[in-house]
Amino acid sequence: MPERKNFIREIINDDLRTNKFGGRVHTRFPPEPNGYLHIGHAKSICLNFGLARDYNGLCNLRFDDTNPTKEEVEYVESIERDVRWLGFDWGDRLYYASDYFEQLYEYAVQLTKKGKAYACDLSPDEIREYRGTLTEPGKDSPYRNRTVEENLDLFERMRNGEFPDGSRTLRAKIDMASPNLNMRDPVMYRILHAAHHRTGDRWCIYPMYDWAHGQCDSIERITHSICTLEFTDHRPLYDWFLAELGVYHSQQIEFARLNLTYTVMSKRKLLQLVQEGYVNGWDDARMPTISGLRRRGYTPESIRNFADRIGVARSESTSEVALLEDCLRDDLNKRALRVMAVLRPLKLVIENYPDGVVEELDAVNNPEDSSMGVRKVPISRVLYIEQDDFREHPPKKYFRLSPGAEVRLRYAYIVKCVGVVRNEKTGEITELRCTYDPETKSGSSQSGRRVKGTIHWVSALHAVDAEVRLYSRLFSVENPSGENWRDFINPDSLEVLRQCKVEQSLATAKPQDRFQFERLGYFCVDDDSREGALIFNRAVTLRDTWAKIEKS
RNA sequence: UGCCCGGUGGUGUAAUUGGCAACACGUCUGACUCUGGAUCAGAAAAGUCCAGGUUCGAGCCCUGGCCGGGCAGCCA
Distance CA A473, CA A491 (A): 10
Instruction: Check whether residue A10 has its CB closer than 7 Å to nucleic acid strand B.
Output: yes
Measure, in angstroms, how far nucleotide B68 C1' is from residue A315 CA: 10
Decide if A498 contacts A470 (C-beta within 8 A): no
Residue A113 CB lies within 7 Å of the nucleic strand B? no
Mean residue pLDDT of chain A comes to 96
User: Which residues lie below 8 Å from residue A383, measured CB to CB, with a gap of 6+?
Assistant: A347, A348, A349, A350, A409, A457, A458, A459, A460
In whole angstroms, what is the distance from residue A497 CA to residue A442 CA? 31
The number of beta carbons lying within 10 Å of the beta carbon of residue A314 is 14
Say what the pLDDT of residue A170 is.
98
Using alpha carbons, list the distances in angstroms from residue A193 to A32, A69, A108, A123, A154.
20, 10, 19, 17, 17
Whether A311 sits with its Cβ under 7 A from any strand B atom: the answer reads yes
Contact between the CB of A166 and strand B at under 7 Å: yes
Q: A499 — phi, psi (to 5°)?
A: -105, 25
Nucleotide closest to A391 measured between CA and C1':
B36
Active-site residue numbers of A?
A: 32, 257, 267
Report the nucleotide nearest the CA of residue A125, measured to C1'. B74
Residues 27-46 of A with CB under 7 A from strand B: 32
CA A332, CA A316: separation in Å to the nearest integer? Answer: 30
Nearest nucleotide, C1' to the C-alpha of A517?
Answer: B35
* Rg of the Cα atoms in chain A: 31
| Window 178-217 of chain A: CB closer than 7 A to strand B | 179-182, 186-187, 190-192, 206, 208-210
pLDDT value at position A1?
43
Residue A551's pLDDT is 83
Nucleotides of B under 7 A from a protein CB: 1-8, 10-15, 17, 24-28, 34-39, 68-76
What integer pLDDT is reported at residue A269 of this predicted model?
96
Closest by CA to A232, choosing from A246, A258, A252, A259, is A252
Contact A76, A33 (CB under 8 A): yes
Q: Which residues pair with A416 in a beta bridge?
A: A406, A435
Report residues 483-522 of A contacting strand B, contact meaning Cβ closer than 7 Å. 516, 518-519
Burial A450-487 (b: 16+ CB within 10 A, else e): eeeebbbbbbbebbbebbbbbbebbbeeeebeeeebee
ipTM of the complex in this document: 0.97
Distance A440 CA to B4 C1' (A): 72
Tell me the per-residue pLDDT of A303-323, one tens digit each, with 9 for 90 and over: 999 999 999 999 999 999 999
What was the pLDDT predicted at A444?
76
**Angstrom distance, A164 CA to B74 C1':** 12
Distance in angstroms: CA A7, C1' B60: 14
Amino acid whose CA is nearest the C1' of B76: A209
User: How far: A518 CA to B26 C1' (Å)?
Assistant: 24
Assess whether A161 (CB) lies less than 7 A from strand B: no
Ranges of residues in chain A whose predicted pLDDT is under 50: 1-2
Ranges of beta strands (E only) in A215-329 are 224-228, 251-255
> For A277 and B7, how far is CA from C1' in angstroms?
39
A137 touches strand B (CB under 7 A): no
> CA A318, C1' B47: Å apart?
24
Long-range interactions of A524-531: CB distance < 8 A, separation 24+: A524/A295, A524/A296, A524/A297, A526/A285, A526/A295, A526/A469, A527/A283, A527/A295, A531/A507
Report DSSP letters for A348-391, one per residue.
EEETTSPTT--EEEEEES-TT-GGG-EEEEEE-SEEEEEGGGB-
A317 C-beta neighbours (distance < 10 Å), count = 12
What are A263-292's pLDDT values in tens digits? 999 999 999 999 999 999 999 999 999 999
pLDDT score for A109: 98
CA–C1' span, A489 to B26, in Å?
Answer: 23
Question: Closest nt to A443 (CA→C1')?
Answer: B34
Chain A residues 426-455 with Cβ under 7 Å of strand B are 440-443, 446, 450, 453-455
- Give me the pLDDT at residue A446, please: 58
Q: Please tell me whether any atom of strand B lies within 7 Å of the Cβ of A233.
A: yes
Q: Which amino acid is at A115?
A: G
CA of A544: nearest nucleotide by C1' is B36
